[in-house]
Amino acid sequence: MKACLNKILIVITVAVLSAGCEKLLDPDPKDVIPDNEFLKDFWDAEFMLRGAYQALQPIVEHRFILGEMRGDWVKPGTGADKDLLELASHTVTPDNRYTNWKVYYDLINRANYVIENVPRVPTDANNFSNFEKNQYVGEARFLRSWAYFNLIMNFDSVPLVLTATDDISNVPYIGATSQEVILDTIEADLLKAFATTDIMVSVPNSFEVGKRVSEEQSRLRVTKKTVCALQAEVYLWRGKYAQAAAACATFETVNGGGPGNRGDWFAMYLGVSNQNLFGEAMFFVAFNFLGREVNPLMKFTSNDPASGGQYMVAPSDSAIKTYNPNYPNNISTSNTIDEQDRGFGRSYAGSAPYYNRLKSDPVIWKYIGLGTVTAGNVDVPPNVRAPYQSESKFHIYRFAEVYLLWAEALNRLGDKTTAISRINAVRDRARMPAPTVTVSSTTEQIEDYILRERGLELGFEGRRWYDLMRIARRGRPQVLIDAVKKRAPVSMHPYLETTLANPKNWYLPYNAEEKRLNPNL
């Protein structure tokens, strides 16, 4: 009996010891958090969601370069490297760094992680109801859809990963899914996102219970309006004009307001909060130099080496002529000839250091300016961002874009009158006269005008190439070919003509390293 008891005692002692031992060896990291200790409360959920938005920051470079370099609104600057030149000349090789889609899938994975894990966060009577839980998931669905939409516009068909990679055993090694299937997924996701996101974003109060509506967060986070904008773009891409128009109409209803004030156009590119943001709905990617979050846009667009500018991307001559037909000789004050609010000194400007000289290499001004520039020959200190403080925001969606998408849908639906009034609303806000197209113009003429207007309004914001593709997909490839030819050197024209005649060549090749790592691709 005693021996038996002793044995039991020994077994228990060993068990207790070894259990204690294991606990002794649990890691206690201070720089990172083991994932099984995270997502315990609403703050964790909020941090996790915000971390998903943070993935937009590295995408900005890709969105800007991929959306502009292949189109007609920019040209390679003197500092353009091999990869940029390849994009501009439509000779992209699988080694080109812009074929690396990791930044988009990083966003997708973070969104997937939110979609899968936020629902398990316990609700909290004051701060985290089921509504907010679903809202967070809805926002993540939007982010995922937006990333996939960018991917299919660039690569046609891509691997569709809808579950979070959170273990080495579920690292995906899968082939591509066709564009149409992905677009179906996006449509379905966006319907869910629309249902669960809010009109404005509320944030917890710091010192008291409850929440307050935050205008600032409503621009940094996804609302129903943002979802509508992406829906409109996706439907238009697929030629579903009625649904696109309906999405725009919903946007208008949710927004509850029209265009902002005239004359404040450039303010849209300035601060993030507490400044006049034109009173319009918008969704953008923010950067904050205090946290050393910077985007590469100053490096790409500035030609001031002291600011780190490498002048890799410059406004194209054809774009500038659209803003200011007599550039670089003259810029008038007549809004029937020149763009006042969106032209020289706003969308683009002259060279460093004063940026006001007409006859100098033009630079894109949206990302380096802190105010407008007036053309002149007198040395005035420019209102320009401090060197290396490249913290300009980058727009993803905004009011004018939705209006122009709406015009595009209505035009295709045959409602030319409303279409023109939508264009006019955008133009009027920029103090420009009514469009030169009328109800008697052809659908194509109005479409071309919308494309022109999109350039003027949304130029250099990473949309141009997709706009060209969208219109070209409607049986109008020549629009795309002509646009690129207009910007490219004449020697390139025959190559561009034959290459771009094949819609397959509008897409990028898969990245060589990605193919090596994933043989199923």
Partner 1 sequence: MYKLLKYCFCFGLLMVSAAGNKLFARQQQALTARIDSIINIEPAESVNIGYLSPKRTNITGAVSVVNENRIKDFASVSIDALLQGQVAGVRVVNISGAPGGGALVNVRGVATINAGSLPLYIVDGIPVKAYRMSGALARNADNNPLADINPDDIAGITVLKDANATALYGMRGANGVVLITTYGGTSGKTYLDFSGYTGVMQAPDPLSVLNADQYREYILEKERARGLSDAEINNGIGRYLLLSTPANQVERYNNNTNWQKDALKTGRFNNYHLTLRGGDAVAKYSLNVGYTSQSGVLKNTSFERFSTRFNLDYKVGRKLSFLNTLSYTRTNRELSEMGNAFNTNPLFLTAVKSPALTAFQQSAEGEDLRDLDSADYAGRNNPYAVQNGLRNTSNTNRILGRITGQYTFSPYLNLRIAIAGDYFRLDEERFRPAAGFAPEGYIIRSSAAGKSYELMLLNENTLNYTRTSASGDHTFDATIGSAFQSTAQDAKVGVYVNATSDQFSGISSANETDPNLDSIGSASPSWKLLSFFGTVRYRFMNRYLFDVNIRADGSSRFAPRSRGGNRWGYFPSIGAAWRISDEAFLRNNKIISELKLRTSYGITGNQEVGYYNSFNAIVPAPYNNYSAVRLGILGNKNFQWEETKQFNVGLDAEFIEGRIGVAIDYYTRKTAHLFNTINIPGISGFDKYAVSEGAIKNNGVELSLNGRIFTGAFGWQTSITAAYNKNRIVSLPGKLNPVVNYGDYSSIVLAGNAVGAFYGYNALGVYANSSDVSVRNGAADTNPFRGGDIIFEDVDRNGIIDEGDRKVIGNTNPDYYGGIYNVFSYRNFDLSVFIDFAVGNDVYNAQRAALESMSNYDNQSTGIQGRWQKEGDVTGVPRLLHGDAVGNTRFSSRWIEDGSYARFKAITLGYNFPLKGSLKNAFKTARVLVTAQNLYTFSDYKGFSAEVGSITNPILYGVDYGNVPQLKTFMVGVKLGL
Contact stretch for partner 1 (CB under 8 A) within 101-109, 123-131, 325-333, 339-347: 101-109
Q: Which is nearer to partner 1, 34 or 414 (CB)?
A: 34
| Nearest to partner 1 of 26, 208 (CB atom) | 26
- Binding flag, residue 386, partner 1 (CB under 8 A): yes
- Compare residues 220 and 331 and give the one whose CB is closer to partner 1: 220
In the range 293-322, which residues lie near partner 1 by CB under 8 A?
Answer: 293, 308
Q: How far is CA 22 from CA 15, 18, 443, in A?
A: 11, 6, 73
404 vs 104, 108, 399, 407, 431, CA distance in Å? Answer: 26, 28, 9, 5, 16
Question: Would you state the structure tokens that stand for residue 121, as one six-digit string?
Answer: 């966060």
The amino acid sitting at 419 is: A
For residues 447 and 63, what is the distance between their CA atoms, to the nearest angstrom? 24
Interface with partner 1 (CB under 8 A), residue from 200, 246, 267, 272: 272
Among 64, 105, 241, 506, contact with partner 1 (rule: CB under 8 A): 105
As measured in angstroms, the least distance from the Cβ of 517 to partner 1 is 5
151 vs 170: CA distance, rounded Å? 21
Is residue 58 reached through a cis peptide bond, with omega within 30 degrees of 0 on the bond before it? no
Tokens of 463: 């949309």
Residue 381 burial by Cβ neighbours in a 10 Å radius (0-12, 13-18, 19+): exposed
Residues sharing a CB contact under 8 Å with residue 99, sequence separation 6 or more, in sequence order:
92, 508, 509, 510, 511, 512, 514
Binding mask 194-223 for partner 1 (x = CB under 8 A): --------------------------x---
Tokens of 352: 């460093």
Site string for partner 1, 160-189 (x = CB under 8 A): -x--xxxxx--xxxx---------------
Which of 30, 378, 475, 490 binds partner 1 (CB under 8 A)? It is: 30
**Total number of residues that touch partner 1 (CB under 8 A):** 69
Footprint on residues 487-516 left by partner 1 (CB under 8 A): 511, 513-514
Beta-carbon contacts of residue 174 (< 8 Å; ≥ 6 apart): 159, 160, 161, 518, 520
Cα separation, 51 vs 45, in Å, equals 10
Q: How far is the CB of 20 from partner 1 (least distance, A)?
A: 10
**Which pair of tokens denotes residue 111?**
């969104």
In the complex with partner 1, the residue whose CB is nearer, 33 or 439, is 33
Instruction: Provide, rounded to whole angstroms, the least separation between the CB of residue 26 and partner 1.
Output: 7
Among 31, 207, 256, 334, which residue interacts with partner 1 (rule: CB under 8 A)?
31
Q: How far apart are CA 351 and CA 487, in angstroms?
A: 20
CB nearer partner 1, residue 28 or residue 208: 28
Whichever of 58 and 239 has its CB closer to partner 1, that residue is 58
State how far the Cα of 245 lies from the Cα of 404, in Å rounded to an integer. 11
Q: Is 274 in the site for partner 1 (CB under 8 A)?
A: no
Among 102, 120, 212, 359, binds partner 1 (CB under 8 A): 102
In the complex, the residues that contact partner 1 under the rule CB under 8 A are: 21-22, 24-36, 38, 44, 47-48, 50-55, 57, 100-102, 105-106, 108-110, 112-113, 158-159, 161, 164-168, 171-174, 220, 272, 286-293, 308, 386-389, 511, 513-514, 517-518, 521
